[in-house]
Structure 1
Amino acid sequence: MEMQPDREQLLEMAHYRMPFGKYKGRYLVDLPLPYLVWFRQKGFPEGKLGNYLNTMLTIKDNNLEPLIRKLQKEFPKESS
């Protein structure tokens, strides 16, 4: 079975900003790897943020940040 990433969810994650803490306001892709590892050890938050942090850790572990940065550049977030 082939897995297809959810395009809208991937774009949302590319533009998602950390809502609290030391790195509040930073894009998740810009969070330091040790911070994401710390979350894995302590437990990711519930819900969307936790899922996105976990996914971003996997992305960074596999050196795929350029894909996220490309999404940010090619699909800029529309202003509300």
Structure 2
Amino acid sequence: NVQSGTRKAVQETPSQALSDALVKVAEKRDRKAFAFLFEYFAPKIRRFGVKQFGNDAQAMELVQDTMTSVWRKAHLYHHDKGA
């Protein structure tokens, strides 16, 4: 688990830091950068999943599937195009 101080800092992450992390994952398969993205997005995806599916198990499956896709398809990201 992430400590609350770290969690708060991650929640307030500016979009530039997220973009930089995605570039690192895309270009270098940087695991620390991916962990940073995971810590930021996983709780948001989970909350969305719980609202959509009504249970935590399916929400966590959504988190896993989504973040796995990010890792596998990161090489398709072109930071100059923003996509």
TM-score normalised per structure 2: 0.29
Query: Greater share of helix residues, 1 or 2?
Result: 2
Computing the radius of gyration from Cα coordinates, the structure with the larger value is 2
